[in-house]
């Protein structure tokens, strides 16, 4: 998996803007042999359902509900650039279940969807 290092002030600003607080722990999700999850079969629909209302590249800052400009999940590249952060904010796996995102007032993924998110991110970043 990719690791993203941000200067502490920027990391704190991003965490505060995206729901107040720090992300959770890495989920420890892995890509099982034969996984059928892909951007086409899972990732795009998940992001459309739960993320791009705030994290779309074409949204003006005033309509992002606090999501930082440039933190966009409407392309696979944008997702992969922040895969570790997404895992630690919204995914579930053997080591952690993270529910910081989406914010409580937004539609929420099921536990199974969060587990699939962790698996899918692990598979995408393993390639």
pLDDT of residue 58: 96
Which residues pair with residue 70 across a beta bridge? none
Q: Write down the number of H helices and E strands in the chain.
A: 5, 0
Return the minimum-mean-pLDDT range out of 14-18, 39-43, 78-82, 123-127. 14-18
Give the separation between CA 28 and CA 93, rounded to whole angstroms.
6
pLDDT of residue 10: 40
Which tokens hold the place of 7? 């200067």
Q: Rounded mean pLDDT of 103-115?
A: 97
Q: What percent of the chain has pLDDT over 70?
A: 83
The dihedral built from the CA positions of residue 44, 100, 53 and 105, taken in this order, carries a sign that is: positive
Q: Rounded mean pLDDT of 91-99?
A: 98
Question: pLDDT of 13-65, one tens digit each?
Answer: 344 344 434 689 999 999 999 999 999 999 999 999 999 999 999 999 999 99
Kindly list the domain boundaries of the chain, sorted by start residue. Answer: 37-126
């Amino acid at each position: 998996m990719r690791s993203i290092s941000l200067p502490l002030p920027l990391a704190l600003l991003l965490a505060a803007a995206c729901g107040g607080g720090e992300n959770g722990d890495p989920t420890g999700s892995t890509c099982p042999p034969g996984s059928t999850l892909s951007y086409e079969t899972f990732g795009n629909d998940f992001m459309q359902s739960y993320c791009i209302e705030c994290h779309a590249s074409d949204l003006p800052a005033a309509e992002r509900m606090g999501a930082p400009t440039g933190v966009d999940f409407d392309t696979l590249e944008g997702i992969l650039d922040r895969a570790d952060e997404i895992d630690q904010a919204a995914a579930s796996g053997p080591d952690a279940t993270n529910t910081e995102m989406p914010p409580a007032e937004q539609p929420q993924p099921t536990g199974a969807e969060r587990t699939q998110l962790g698996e899918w991110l692990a598979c995408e970043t393993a390639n």
